[in-house]
Amino acid sequence: MSCGTATSCCSGSMSDAGPRAAAPRIELIDAVRGLSILLMVAYHTGYDLVEAGLSPRGLLFNPLLSVLQPLFAGVFILLAGVSARFSRDNRRRGLQVLGCALLVSLAAGFVDVQIPFGILHCLGFCMVLCGSPAAWVDRVPRGWQPVLFSACFVAGCLFFPLYVTDASRFPYVYMFGVVDPAFHAYDYFPLIPWFFLYLLGVWLGAYIRERRFPAWFYTWRVPILPAVGRRTLLIYLLHQPVIYAVVQGVAWLAR
């Protein structure tokens, strides 16, 4: 599972809301994001251990993780959409995330790992496409938004990725979930269906910003996890090189 983004890129905080902000960060959102990034680190550690031959494949490839991996990645994308309601400039944030995504793709290429459109690419494009949430998302009646976005997300999960022979002849269609049967990627989160989950988060974020949730949602406190959740982009960028180096070093010593 790969899921990460920046403190300022999907903070879910009142402090990122610009001059309208008056309340502190919503620590519950930070905590859930922090838990998601830690689970992602654990998943990547397991992946590297399996690939290095230090752990059995069952550690990673099992029915439980096949469900949990997309679940926690989905929670992360949903929270990014929520945070769009608190951002002063989604497009600027999106471009920053896309720059980081490009660095990840380039770095992965040095170890023969393909990441043409991972979760950072997906989040960056979602932020850019969303722009200011009120610009177009709210033109859809609010009562219809969860129905429309949920239906599109479920349909996208059912029918995408869409495998098309010779899809590689058409540049960048993999961004939308249209791929050649031979397509393979270490980290792949196409805009269909994930953009619709992001939009569902944008809808949900409107209610959170309007403080329509119970009071405990805004005052709940937990140690450590919120601090982790505020640094997810840094963790995302640094954890894999560190884990990969440590695992390869252990594998070398074992041999």
Burial class for 159, CB neighbours closer than 10 Å (0-12, 13-18, 19+)? exposed
Whether the Cβ atoms of residue 6 and residue 236 lie closer than 8 Å to each other: no
Structure-token pair, residue 99: 């720059």
Give me the residue spans of the domains in the chain.
Answer: 14-139+208-254
Give the number of other Cβ atoms within 10 Å of residue 231's Cβ. 17
Which pLDDT value is given to residue 7? 32
Q: Which residue has the higher pLDDT, 175 or 89?
A: 175
CA neighbours within 13 Å on the CB side: how many for 151?
Answer: 5
Which pLDDT value is given to residue 131? 84
Tell me the backbone φ, ψ of residue 22, rounded to 5 degrees.
-140, -20
Rounded to 5°, the CA angle 246-65-10 comes to 75
Q: Taking 90 as the threshold, does the pLDDT of residue 64 lie above it?
A: no
Q: Which of 184, 244, 253 is CA-nearest to residue 49? A: 244
Q: Taking 80 as the threshold, does the pLDDT of residue 6 lie above it?
A: no
| pLDDT over 70, % of the chain | 90
Q: Taking 70 as the threshold, does the pLDDT of residue 85 lie above it?
A: yes
pLDDT digits 0-9 by tens, 192-216:
999 999 999 999 999 999 999 999 9
Question: pTM for the full model?
Answer: 0.86
Q: Taking 50 as the threshold, does the pLDDT of residue 4 lie above it?
A: no
What sign does the dihedral 13-19-21-25 (CA atoms) show?
A: positive
Which pLDDT value is given to residue 134? 67
Which pLDDT value is given to residue 224? 92
Residue with token string 């459109």: 117
pLDDT digits 0-9 by tens, 105-145:
998 888 788 899 999 999 999 999 988 776 789 899 999 99
b/e for 33-45, b at 16 or more Cβ within 10 A? bbbbbbbbbebbb
Averaged pLDDT, 55-74: 87
Average pLDDT for the chain: 86
Distance CA 133, CA 127 (A): 9
Which pLDDT value is given to residue 24? 59
Averaged pLDDT, 24-38: 89
